[in-house]
Amino acid sequence: MHNCKKVREILIDSMYGESDVKDVKKYIEECPECRKFTEDLGVISEKMDILDADPPVNISDIVNTLDMAEKIEAGKKLKFEAVCFAVCALLITAAYAVLSIGFGTSFVIITQGIMFLCLPAVLIPVIIKRGAEEGAR
């Protein structure tokens, strides 16, 4: 047993492929108001389709967005690296100062030497990694 309200809901659902009208087909044939509603749905769909066109692709919009995203990402990375550098520098300086007081001048000279020798081992991989990242972009 159906009523018009329920049938109309089924008709709307079926127009959008969410339901099947076969259960209410007989009811529609017998109810002039529901038959009119079915016809109206066709007109509604046709009239509202006038707004269906999507705009063409604007390449410059996309390029600008990608450029902006890269800029923001680079800015974030730079900020993170600056903070990391500041924290590391602070920690190393503090540790170095404490150890220098404890071990004296010879410790300072030896560690300075080791640091200068190790510097390329740290910098070269960082430069290579940066180069690879630039290449990937």
Partner 1 sequence: MDEIRTIKEAQEGSRAALNKLLTDNYGILKGYLIKITCDSSLAQDITQETMLRAVQNIKRFHEGAKFSTYLITIATNLYRDYIRKNKRIESLPDDLESGIEGPEELSVKGIEYREAVRIIKALPYEKRAVFILKHYYGYSYEEISEILKCPIGTVRSRLHYCIEHIRNEMEKEGFI
Q: Which residues bind partner 1 (CB under 8 A)?
A: 8-9, 12-13, 16-18, 37, 39-41, 43-45, 47-48, 50-59, 61-66, 68-70, 72-73, 136-137
Give me the least distance between CB of 25 and partner 1, in Å please: 20
Rounded to whole angstroms, the Cα distance separating 66 from 10 reads 45
Give me the least distance between CB of 52 and partner 1, in Å please: 6
| 17/32 with CB nearer partner 1 | 17
| 30/134 with CB nearer partner 1 | 134
Token pair in block for residue 73: 């990402």
12-41 CB burial, b ≥16 within 10 A, e <16: eebeeeeeeeeebeebbeebeebeebbeee
Rounded to whole angstroms, the Cα distance separating 70 from 137 reads 10
| 57/101 with CB nearer partner 1 | 57
